[in-house]
Chains A and B, each alone.
Chain A
Amino acid sequence: MIRLQLENASLAFTVRRHKRLTLKEFLLRGMFRRSVNPYMTVNALQEINLQLCDGDRLGVIGHNGAGKSTLLKTIAGIYPLTQGRRTVNGRISSLFDIALGFEPDASGWDNIAYRGYLQGETPKTLAPKMQEIAEFSELGEFLDMPVRYYSSGMIVRLGFSIATSIEPEVLLVDEVLSAGDQSFQDKARERLAQMIDKASVVVIASHDLKRLPSLCDQVLWMDHGRIRQIGPADEVVAACLDESLQPQNKAA
């Protein structure tokens, strides 16, 4: 069964070179037809074709700004496509920016509930999971404190524990394990490996080229918003490593 399909998908957005458009500028521009604040078009994704079926494990690699995160967010439905089609069958769970998405004034417990509800839980389905989420985060009494006072490591712990509490069909992961202390990172790795085993389709964006082939069977190499290469994990990772070893050839 096809779980996830992108057909000729492109995403372009315009940003102002200086700052947000102001009302003054809007009126002036309207009157004089001359912009002092030009648009810049960013082609974040261009003509992406991708098809993932049950059991597929896809790694996404590329330089910073190559479009890895944008691709994941597009698959998740957070970014719209400017062209092409996106089809997703199944419940999506996404692990990116897990440190975001908290109400700073509410306690850890409350935030577990908000995020849980946002992920589609109901009080009935969430209640049995609350304790488990709390235990995994190892935050103990801190959960009674407003999230405002948490350290960044604690926030990542909480975010990761909530986001991994559901059993997704489509799992999207973006460099989640870059924060938290060593012991939590090990624990998180293990949990992630379990989730990857259970999920039907997994897409992981990572810079860790060495570890990626052990998690994925296919790798997609993004470059400037386009697919540079897609294929068996070892092959693509080797090609990518090859190029980064010979940066002078890249100019050609």
Chain B
Amino acid sequence: MADDTHSLVAPYALDALDEQEERAFEQHLALCERCREDLAGLREAAAMLAYGAGRATPPPELKERILDQARAERANVVSIRRRRSWTIPLGAAAAVAACAAVVVGIWAATLQNSSDPLEKVLSQPGARLISMGRAGGVAVAPSGDAALAVALPQAPAGKTYEAWVIRSGRAARAGLFPGTAATSVVEIARPVPPGSVVAVTLERAGGVTQPTSKPLAQSKAT
């Protein structure tokens, strides 16, 4: 089954899957590093095919229509953003943008919920958001408080996701979570000192004392 799903990478790059196949492949993609790597190269080749069609000149009013609508949408977005004080210097790190999508989504969903662990970390002065690649990111405050925001599907039966704080090559347990179709927001159960790495592995239910598999998500050093 896993192999079969892997073979969907080229049809996916060409947008040649039906909706059901596409959903199945995207779930697989979240967990399969090899597919993500293959996809990056194949997508690039597929996009080049667009140039093979030749350029055509759209009517000038198309540009105006697009820009008018974009500006109209911006008015709404800005009003949401202003409701919260975003303490992270936005231009500071590419990492911020990398997980911004995930975080903004959660942020919107938790506007009413000040007990949200991510919000608790991000509201501290000097908090930073560190990318974990495609899976999401981790927010870390100078106090060592940290919270994960990761897109990992529900763990299979008998399994759990386990978070780790890794420092000087030593991994310390930092909490379990089940995963969900939406984004998981998880408080990291121990302080995250500067220079450490936060990672997530899939383990047997109940968790383990040391990671037994390759991380599904891993941050850069904090």
- Is B a genuine binding partner of A? no
Q: Using a CB–CB distance below 8 Å, which chain B residues touch chain A?
A: none
Q: Using a CB–CB distance below 8 Å, which chain A residues touch chain B?
A: none
